[in-house]
Amino acid sequence: MSDKFKDKFRLDRQTMALRVAREFQDGDCVNLGIGIPVLASNYVPAGREVIFHSENGVLGFGEVHTAGEGDPDFVNAGGQAVTIIPGTCFFDHHESFSIVRGKHLDISVMGGLQVSEKGDLANWLVPERQIGTIGGAMDLAIGAKRLIIAMNHVTKDNQPRIVKKCSYELTALECVKLVVTDIAVIEVTKKGMVLKEYAPTWTPEEVQELSEPKLIVAPDCKEIEL
């Protein structure tokens, strides 16, 4: 695929996280995966109360401590120490995944490697590594009412991650509802992938050039507001 956009502007990780956080509605219970997703907890829109779930057994926690600080018995799924807030509660692992699998979470945000036209997700195995880790990804992908994927639009080799069909090992079928990339916001609908927003300096046509499936440009498609 074309690398003519190589030097063009991209959203950085924090900005992608900020865009993801705009999706959080008042009262949502949200699980944030390792990487870009977990950064989104810093950008909950003002005035909205959002409850975070971590699959290691906690619902409702506050800020992340810097490495080495905090209570080693209170960490998020990435192993970072977090803080108790009013409303925090703890539970064991099968209860935690009852919450996940039972469709109690409003939103799950995860990183991705490939997202297909139909919303299939591949996010646990880079083929070159041969060995990967499933962890809780498959449960979170099918469990949340709404799955949002935050990832770069293309690979380091400039290969598209928005694909017709995933070539990597799958995490789950037809699960992704929204993809936030470093150049676009794409909604997965029954009719196909709908381009809702594009990064500053980009055009819908340019985003299409870096995407395998035909994107439907939303009537109200616009530049991402930051």
Cβ-Cβ contacts under 8 Å for 55 (sequence gap 6 or more): 31, 77, 93, 96, 97, 100, 136, 139, 140
Among the listed residues 16, 100, 148, 224, the single contact to another protein using CB under 8 A: 100
Q: Quick check: 60 binds another protein (CB under 8 A)?
A: yes
Q: Using the rule CB under 8 A, which residue among 3, 95, 205, 209 binds another protein?
A: 95
Considering beta carbons, is residue 120 or 182 the nearer one to another protein? 120
Question: How many Å from the N-terminal Cα to the C-terminal Cα in the chain?
Answer: 28
Q: How far is the CB of 171 from another protein (least distance, A)?
A: 7
Which of positions 167-226 make contact with another protein (CB under 8 A)? 169-173
Q: Which stretch binds another protein (CB under 8 A): 16-24, 133-141, 181-189, 193-201?
A: 133-141
Q: Half-sphere exposure (CA, 13 Å, Cβ side) for 181?
A: 27
Under rule CB under 8 A, which residues in 150-169 are in contact with another protein? 169
Dihedral in degrees, nearest 10, Cα atoms 164, 136, 189, 217: -70
Tokens in use for 123?
A: 């996010």
For the CB of residue 56, give the shortest distance to another protein in the complex, in Å: 5
What is the footprint of another protein within residues 64-93 (CB under 8 A)?
64, 67-68, 71-80, 84-93
Span of 127-135, 188-196, 198-206, 214-222 interacting with another protein by CB under 8 A: 127-135
- Taking CB under 8 A as the binding criterion, the range among 46-54, 147-155, 179-187, 213-221 that sits at the site for another protein is 46-54
Q: Which is nearer to another protein, 128 or 220 (CB)?
A: 128
210, 154 in Cβ contact below 8 A?
yes
Which of 5, 123 has the CB closer to another protein? 123
- Cα separation, 83 vs 109, in Å, equals 21
Measured CA to CA, the distance from residue 122 to residue 138 in angstroms comes to 10
Residues classed as catalytic: 55
Residue with structure tokens 């989104």? 40
Tracing tokens 């799958």 back to the chain, one arrives at 170
